[in-house]
Amino acid sequence: MRSLKRFTLNDVWLETNMHKRTISEFIRGLVKTGHLQVVEVVDNGKRFDASVYELVKSPRDTPRVRKDGSLVTQGRARLQMWRAMKVLKTFDARDLAIHATLEDLEVAESDVKYYLRYLYKAGYVSVISRGKGMGRGGVLSVYRLKPGKYTGPKAPMIQNVRHVYDPNLNEVVWPLKEVEYEQK
């Protein structure tokens, strides 16, 4: 859609070859959020090819919308943390939670801690001063995003099998494969 700028459902289908239903639902959602506008309706008797859409807003992050126009927030907390890490460089879990929180998506300190634990294992962050204790009496660990470990704009993901996957590198970065263990 970004390259087409003006298109019908059929144009998108020809480009992507995705399921027609998927395309029409995605586009319906984008019209509701105001990213797309209907500029022309051609009455050619074909339902799938009737309206011409135009891209009005083209934000950096491709919006994930449901067909009713509501936004999918899954994965956004991690992205916000990843970005805040890049800017802050040195932080504890609370700093990061505060800076990653936006009005429509609060990031919990516990979620930050969980994410940091895995990023630490995968070698993305180092610990500057180790915290101690837990809960209210505890002191938080201070972390640092290692220089050069900002691999790209996508946040590393913790997979269901508890592996850390970096979509920028298209690699599972933790645990290391056995071969790599031997090399190190």
Partner 1 sequence: MSEVIGNVNTVAPLTNVKLCMQALERAMNRDRHLPGLVCFYGPSGWGKSSAASYAYNKLGAYYVECRSTFTRKAFLAEILKELGIPPLKTIHDMFDQVIEVLGEGDVPLIIDEMDYLVDKNMVELVRDLFEGSQAPVLCIGEEGLPKKLAKWERFHGRILDWVPAESVTLADATHLANLYCAGLEIREDLLIRIHDLAAGSARRVCVNLALVEEEARKKGLTGIGLDEWGNRSFYTGDAPRRGKRHGK
Interface with partner 1 (CB under 8 A): 2, 58-61, 80, 83-84, 86-88, 90, 92, 94-95, 98-103, 106, 129, 136-137, 139-140, 142, 150-154, 168
Supply the minimum distance, in Å, between the C-beta of residue 51 and partner 1: 23
Which residue number, 2 or 47, has a Cβ lying nearer to partner 1?
Answer: 2
Which residue number, 29 or 92, has a Cβ lying nearer to partner 1?
Answer: 92
Supply the minimum distance, in Å, between the C-beta of residue 177 and partner 1: 23
Which residue number, 23 or 35, has a Cβ lying nearer to partner 1?
Answer: 35
Residues 6 or more apart whose CB falls under 8 angstroms from that of 160 comprise none
Supply the minimum distance, in Å, between the C-beta of residue 165 and partner 1: 16
Which residue number, 3 or 17, has a Cβ lying nearer to partner 1?
Answer: 3
Which residue number, 123 or 175, has a Cβ lying nearer to partner 1?
Answer: 123
User: How many whole angstroms separate alpha carbon 126 and alpha carbon 144?
Assistant: 5
Supply the minimum distance, in Å, between the C-beta of residue 10 and partner 1: 24
Supply the minimum distance, in Å, between the C-beta of residue 27 and partner 1: 19
